A = this chain, B = another copy of it.
């Protein structure tokens, strides 16, 4: 049995090998938490086993007591990318997606306090719901897109990618100093203010400009 990896970014969910997230990357979050503006992007990894397509439920693992939504702009890489300048970084972008970066705050909080890795709190199965691929030609300006999220119809997050601390080329250039970004890798650019816990039985809906919407049921493991 062999599965064929394509260079077609429409298949990023099945063919990508890494997901690179950025934390604390919206100015409204920095202000709300009254913390210093990060000097460099706070970069973490999620495994591709965490991807979820619309139509399947978000499953809260039984090992977790508090899991939060984070609505984000995803960036899909189109070409191998190492040590690229900010000026050239957008040449390596194939397109975008709408994504959720679900986060087990019950695990991440204690992990951070202990200096431990973020992996389990960020990397659990179904923690990265994503939309279909959006080709770059359909997006006039990735830094002027609205992001919104509702839980059971009630608005919980409302932001704009204009408010990013590190924008798309900043992130690509920075990460590519450390690791090669490969075709179909996904970058999660961070979430605006309002991320909070959800529970089994909730319905989460979110949107990215007029480009994509997503709707997920939530159940417990």
* Whole-angstrom CA separation of A111 from B7 in the bound complex: 34
Interface segment, A85-93, A114-122, A158-166, A192-200?
A114-122
* Whole-angstrom CA separation of A2 from B62 in the bound complex: 38
The reply on A154 being an interface residue by CB < 8 A is: no
The reply on A45 being an interface residue by CB < 8 A is: yes
Which B residues touch A42, using CB under 8 A?
A: 116-117
Which B residues touch A119, using CB under 8 A?
A: 20, 43-45, 118
Q: How many copies does the complex hold?
A: 2
Interface segment, A137-145, A173-181, A204-212?
A173-181
Which B residues touch A113, using CB under 8 A?
A: 115
CB < 8 Å: which of B4, B17, B44 contacts A48?
Answer: B17
By a beta-carbon cutoff of 8 Å, the part of chain A in contact with chain B is: 1-7, 17-18, 20, 23, 42-50, 61-63, 82, 111-113, 115-120, 123-125, 177-182
Q: Can you report 17 residue pairs joining A to B where beta carbons are below 8 Å apart?
A: A2-B6, A3-B4, A3-B5, A4-B5, A5-B5, A17-B49, A42-B116, A42-B117, A43-B120, A45-B45, A45-B117, A49-B182, A61-B177, A62-B177, A112-B115, A117-B117, A123-B179
